[in-house]
Structure formats: structure tokens, C-alpha cells
Structure 1
Amino acid sequence: MEATHRFEGMKTGARDGRRVGLRLYDRCEVVLTGPDAFVDAAVRYLWPQARPVPGHDDLPQVRLVLGRIAPGLVAGAPRRRVTLYSSPDGHVPDFNEGVEYTGVPGVDRLVLNPHTGSHFLMAGHRVCVVNPEFEAGKRDALRVVKQLVTTAFEAVGVVTVHASAFALGGEAVAVAGPAGAGKTSTVLAAVVAGARMVANDKLYARTDTDGTQVRGWTDPIRVIDAPGHRKRSATLATYFAGDADRVVVDPLPLRTVVLARVGTPSVPVRCEELDRTAGLLLLRREVLPPRVRWLGTEPSPASDPASPTADRFLRLTYGYRDAARAMGLLMRRLGA
């Protein structure tokens, strides 16, 4: 028999499950609560940036509840459309526009993601994600965690850059380019060649008079096993078999940006120097806008954060089958 869980005066049928406190990026602490499978999946997803901490009640809390809200809870409540995430490339079809219900008793805010069926119930620093489907609910609960982390960074002038990166000689090499350009493929090929992973798709970048330092978000890796095959997704923990030595956790100075052009057919392998002024413009185009503050508890972003910078820009062109040769040429250019 399911126990009845009470969330600020609201009833939803669910098992409480486990509770774990995590410190993320040495900055943001959060308590995750929900079914064992959710907590386990979240810890894997957030690896290696998550460290266990005591789950104090005054920390932000994200709870996943497998169930539905009472049908009459939002009946007659005023509603309006809200933006959950504004993606410049439009690649988040199930997390963009939502519906907010106002005046719901017992909560500060209640938002529905109509694409997944998740209801987000916000009360103080607690967020309860209610969905009868585990996978959809887990995905949306992890989006709340990412919202908390990213907005905490944005409050101190950190920007998010749409780029991948690897570490070489104590410095980060960012790999930029549009969707499908081969950013992940290039980073993974660099890792095979002896580099360490920094990020698969998103970088947190902080810039001051000494330059830009970056660290990576823990997005799962989407890999293609062979040309023409569909992409599959794997968490960093799975891909690197829990070997934290292969992934860089701490911030690294960004000195070089590689603009990738990777294609399916074999093409001449090229690694060309780019004009720094043109490269900086291209890099700054990959800076994502501040996240929409839809939870209602996020701190305001810093005004006019500094744009990321780098000293050197390269364009790397190769076909998937020539990745090893391309990495040899790139590593020589980087002085490795």
C-alpha cells in the first residue's frame, strides 16, 4: 500500500524512498529525495561533480514523486504560459513552454510541463516533481537540479558556453561548432589520444583580467558507434567506468578553441590557424543566454558578465574514419 506524502498541505500518493545531500561543483548544495532508482540515476548523472554532504533541511530540496496531483487541485485556477527553457538551437522539444497555475493553496508556484506531464510544485526552497512515468519525471527532476546549479553560477558572472572540451597540459581546449559539427567526437578522440575529458556539450566559463577558466557540465555523452548508426546516450560515469582520473573536475584556464568540422566521408585532414578576432566572435556566439528564472527562487544573474576569451583558434577538418590521424595533427599543433 502506498503511503500518502504531504507536500505543503497537498497530497500525492508516493513512497518517500531515499534522501541524499550533494554538493555540486563545490558551490551548490541540494537534497535529492525519491525512489531509489531516481537517487541512483541522479548520482550517476551528476558524476564526477557530486560530493555527498549531510542533507540539512535548510538546503534546496528536489523530490521526485511517482504519481499524479489531485484532479481538482488546479480546477478553476488562473493559468498562464511560462517559458521553461529558451534554447537558441531549438533542440529541447520536451522542455520549452509550460503552464503556471496561480492561487493554488499550499504552494508558492505550480507549473506544468505539458510535453512530459510533470507538475512542479514549489514551496520555499523545495521543489516536488510529480509524474506517473519514472523516466519523464527523472529527466525533469534533473532539469531542476541543472537549473539550480546554472543560476547559482550565473549569479556570480559565470556564463554557459555551447562547447565541448578536453584537458591537455593543465589547460582546457574547447571544441566549438554547430550541432552535428563533431564536438563530442573530437573530444572523445582526444581522450583516446591521451587527453582528459572536461565537458561533452556545455561549459561554465568565468572570465576576468587573467583570462577565462572553464569547467564542464555532466551531460551524458551521445556517441555514434559507426558512421550511419544512430546515436546512443551514456552517462560520464558509465562511459568512463567510474574512473574519475579520466575526467577533470576543477576549473582550467582556456587557452585554445578548436572549431570542428567532422564529416562522414573521408576528406583531407586539415588543422588551420584562425584569426583571433574572428575566432573570438565565433566563440562569443556560442554563449547561451541566462536561464529563465521559472522556479521563482533563483538568484538574479550578474549584470554584464565578461565574455569568454582564448589566445588561439584552430579549425580542424576531418572525416570520422580519420579521427586518429586528425588527433595526431591536432596534438602536434598544440605542442603535446
Structure 2
Amino acid sequence: MNERTEHAMDSTPESGRRTVYDVVVIGGGAAGLSGALTLGRARRSVLVVDAGQPRNAPARGVHAHLGHEGTPPGELLAKGRDEVRRYGGELRSGSATGAERVGDGFRVTLADGGRLRARRLLVATGLVDELPDVPGVAELWGSDVLHCPYCHGWEVRDQAIGVLGTGPLAVHQALLWRQWSADVTLFLHTMDEPDEQQYEELAARGIGVVVGEVAALETCDGRLHGVRLASGQLISRQALAVATKLRPRAGVLASLGLAPMDLEMAGTVVGAHIAADPVGATEVPGVWVAGNVANPLDQVVAAAAAGVRAGAAINADLIAQETRRAVEARREPFSARLEREVCEVVLGDRRHGL
């Protein structure tokens, strides 16, 4: 066997045999592909399983990513997939529904009934933005309804921007968006009324405040035309900033005993995430996370960097295991335990008649 196949036996589902990869990456966004690329360049056998539901699909372009400014998200991911393949990585369309430990590795179950074997897992499934329940918000999400000024502020600079108040951070959000436009209006909607200091700050920055719930967004030719209040009043706006609930796609991690934890900003819960150390290692040995599933506030470039860090950490972990086994084999070339481990790698599920 060469170095690439030493710990991975390629096979097809039709043969009844299962493939054992060094690493299965679940999620093919910026984080997952960057991790897979790093591992492929480290001469690891890698398979990326991707459901094809990137969080930033509605966006027109990726921003603040040096060298890729304004690149459409789909184009960036297509280039990333090509780069992963260039270094021997494999990609498979589908969703992972669960995972379980088998020996010192894992078995991953897919929605189509397929099963994969891996020595390590990197989960980069991202998150889902739960939008405010206001008619028109979902339809304009990613175009005229926005959440991050660093992602979209330049594109709506100097426009009439509204901020939908749904929680305690809305005043902060309005003050933030004021950097990109002098015409910012805060719609109190369902948030608590600002205190005196907050009103003073808003007034000092020339930010208007509108009392009353928002009933719907009005459009014209597919673009935002204005914000309709429950009172019937229509206030003209060209863009609307909203706060979303950041819900990680963590179903496959739940099967491994990893549950999302609340994520707070300034004492307010804004979503949830999977806890991990700085390189993405979770409390379950052999399982790493990267990207928005772990750090919901990361932009694309930060998610990609997290994938690189996790990929390097996984490779180092595998090297440590392989070194231990090599030392043991040198000291004790023939042992029942080593024979069992070889059988697990070579035979996989067939050893158990599966």
C-alpha cells in the first residue's frame, strides 16, 4: 500500500464493503472544504459529505475575504471543491443523519441509507438563520433584508436603512449601521423601549425612532419599497437590518452526545453553538468542529481559517496515533491486539458481518 491508502480502503456500496477514510468531513462550505484541502495536502484520505445548503446562498457576493472580494458564494465553493479533488479528496452529495463510535473510529449514517467509516470526523455543518416572523422578510433575505454590516454595509451605503427592533441589541445594531448611512431608522417593533441614555445616543447620531409593530414589508419590482406598520403607515426604506437567531445544524453531533450551548452577546442570548477548543476539538475524542456550527459570528474568511486549523490539528492527532502504533509494533511485532486493529482497518464492517 502507498501512503495514501495505508489507512483507507476504497470500495463501493454495491460491493457490500464500507470505505474507511482517515477523515470524513460533514459539511462542504468554506470551513469544511478548507479542512479537507488541508488534510488532502497532508496526504490524508478525505471524503466531504455536503447537503448543498450553504448559509450564504442568497448573498450576491462574499466580502472581506482577501483575494476573493465580491466573489459569488457558489463560485467560491465550486473552486474549493475543485481544489479538494486536486489533492485526492472525494466529495459526496447528501446529508449525514447520525454517527457512532466503532472501535477507535466512527461510522457515519447518511440520509440515503449509506454508511461511511472514518478514523476522525470534522463537522462543519454551519447554521440556520431563524428570521423574524414578519411578512416579506424571508422573501428579501440576502438582498434587501440584511444582518451583518461588515458583509453587506458597503453595498447599501448612503441608502435609507431600517433596523427592525426585536431585542436588547437593536440600539447597538442601529448605531453600527449608522457608519454606512446617515439615513437610519430604528423600528421599535417588539423590543423594549430604549432608556434615556439610549435615546440620547440615537438622537446624537441622527437616528430616527418609530414606535409601533411592523406588519409587513412592501416591495416594488422585487425590491424593498417600505416598511408597513400595524397602524397602516408606510415608511420608505431601501434596506432593512434584522437580527436572526443563530441555530447550529447540529443533528449529527447530537448522536455523538454533543448538544448546542447558548451563545451570548452583551448578556443576551443570540443563538447557540457547539463548544470546542481553539483548534476545533470537542469533548468527544476524535470529533472536531469548524465554521459557524462552532463560531456563529464568523464570516467566510474566518470559517475557512477555522477549517485549516482543525485540519492541521486532526492530522497531528493521527500522526500521534500512528507513531504510538509504530513504536508498539517495533517493540512487539506480533500480538493479538495489533492483529485485531489491522482487521478493523482492512475488513471494517465485514468483520462483524454487516
TM-score w.r.t. structure 1 length?
0.23
The structure with the largest strand share of the pair is 1
TM-score w.r.t. structure 2 length?
0.22
The structure showing larger relative contact order (alpha-carbon pairs under 8 Å, at least 6 residues apart) is 2
Structure (1 or 2) with the larger CA radius of gyration: 2
